[in-house]
Amino acid sequence: MKITRVEVWPLELKLSEPYTIAYETIATTTNVVLRVETDRGAVAWGCAAPDLEVTGEAVEDVLAGLREVAEPVLLGADPLRTARLLERCRRGLADRPATLAAVDLALHDLLGKVCGLPLWRVLGGYRERIRTSMTIGILPTDETVDQARRWVVHGFRALKLKGGQDPEADAERVRRVREAVGSGIALRFDANQGFTVEQTLAFVEAARTAGLELLEQPTPRSEPDLLGRVTAGVPIPVMADESLMSLRDAFRLARRDLVDMVNVKLMKVGGIAAALQINAVARAARLEVMVGCMDEMGLGIAAGLHFALARPNVRYADLDGHFDLVGDPSRDAVIVRDGWLQPTGRPGLGFDLED
């Protein structure tokens, strides 16, 4: 089997409801779609969701990387030599993780299709479904409470609140949401690097009665020691997100006991193969793992889901990046039922855009 055709194009998507985090407001996003075809007629799909702030890539960087680096490597190659092809691509895409992730997703999609199995079974098949949290951006308190109630009515049992601009106001929103949704809903808080250590400690104390399940990336990723100080100073689990961009980052965080948990996003680490390596480091260090996402079309969410289902220590999921995307052609790549995510059951990533 050989790869005979590689196609790449951008897909601009609007959000039905723009949302705000500590450092920006997002109203639209652009994913890049990768289509790979073989001489036996098999077609596989990948996608990239670049983010200048997180992955360091613009859409133009992804398009250029796929066309100038990945396409020459892939054309004429045996697509089942996944490790070899990814290693060759990595040399030219070392600073473009979302670009590499698109290649990785397409190769893994093809692997599952050749096997005739959903990818999560090929990778290990630990569980069949996983709960996802729903994210609520920075909003006035009453609007935050309204959104929280709405998601709970739709069956979601875990909510992630964004913050990082005002510790006191954030704590008030968290407390009000807890009062509104009751004790049976898991609440998570993500400051997106917006706090100092002192502000984080004050926030955690002020939000103590809300019973937060975890605290995500409160301090800047450029100063990992600050995460360690927070982890040592608060009674709830602290999770690294932006501070975890690579296998080396995972090793450093684990070796120095800087966090309790890590958020693995395929777009920031370079795809499923890299995520599996990072997950192995986390398990060795007894760090719990969440699989997260960017503003990704359903195809990217499906890839994160298959990774999560394959490994026992991926305990948490925050795979909601496609819910608000208008016109996503791969929206049905994952099935959502009462807050649970499950794959379609079809081979590979379980979805073909041409359908």
Q: What is the pLDDT of residue 355?
A: 73
Domain boundary, last residue among 116, 135, 167: 116
Of all residues in the chain, the percent with pLDDT exceeding 90 is 96
Catalytic position from the list 104, 241, 242, 324: 241
The model's pLDDT over 147-163, given as tens digits with 9 standing for 90+, comes to 999 999 999 999 999 99
* pTM score, whole prediction: 0.96
Catalytic option among 51, 113, 160, 162? 162
pLDDT of 19 higher than 90: no
Number of domains in the chain: 2
pLDDT-derived band at 30, boundaries 50, 70, 90: very high
Same domain, 110 and 125: no
Domain identity same for 155 and 110: no
Q: Specify whether 165 is located in the same domain as 310.
A: yes
- Stretch 337-351: mean pLDDT: 97
pLDDT in tens, 91-114: 999 999 999 999 999 999 999 999
Mean pLDDT, residues 253-282: 98
Do residues 305 and 167 both lie within one domain? yes
Domain assignment of residue 351, yes or no: no
What would the mean pLDDT of 267-283 be, rounded to a whole number? 98
| Domain coverage including residue 37 | 3-116
Catalytic residue among 104, 109, 170, 190: 190
Q: What is the pLDDT of residue 302?
A: 98
Active site residue 216: yes
Residue 170 is a catalytic residue: no
Do 8 and 147 lie in one domain? The reply is no
Instruction: Indicate whether 97 and 160 sit together in one domain.
Output: no
Are 208 and 305 part of one and the same domain?
yes
pLDDT at 24 over 90: no
Residues 184 and 284 in one domain: yes
23 pLDDT exceeds 80?
no
Catalytic residue list contains 162:
yes
Among residues 180, 189, 183, the alpha carbon closest in space to that of 159 is found at: 189
Q: What percent of the chain has pLDDT over 70?
A: 100
What 122-129 contacts at long range (C-beta under 8 Å, 24+ apart), as own/partner pairs, is 123/272, 123/276, 123/306, 123/307, 123/310, 123/311, 124/310, 124/311, 125/309, 125/310, 126/309, 126/310, 126/311, 126/312, 127/309, 127/312, 128/309, 128/342, 129/309, 129/340, 129/341, 129/342
211 occurs within a structural domain = yes
Whether 135 maps to a domain, the answer reads yes
98 and 162 part of one domain: no
Of 13-27, 183-197, 291-305, 336-350, give the lowest mean pLDDT range.
13-27
Query: Within this chain, do residues 279 and 221 fall inside the same structural domain, yes or no?
Result: yes
Length of the chain in residues, anyone? 355
- Among residues 216, 295, 324, 328, the one annotated as catalytic is 216
pLDDT the model gives residue 22: 75
Q: Which of 51, 104, 113, 265 is catalytic?
A: 265
Clarify whether 318 is annotated catalytic: no
Tell me the per-residue pLDDT of 238-265, one tens digit each, with 9 for 90 and over: 999 999 999 999 999 999 999 999 999 9
Q: Could you report the per-residue pLDDT of 289-329, keeping only the tens digit for each?
A: 999 999 999 999 999 999 999 999 999 999 999 999 999 99
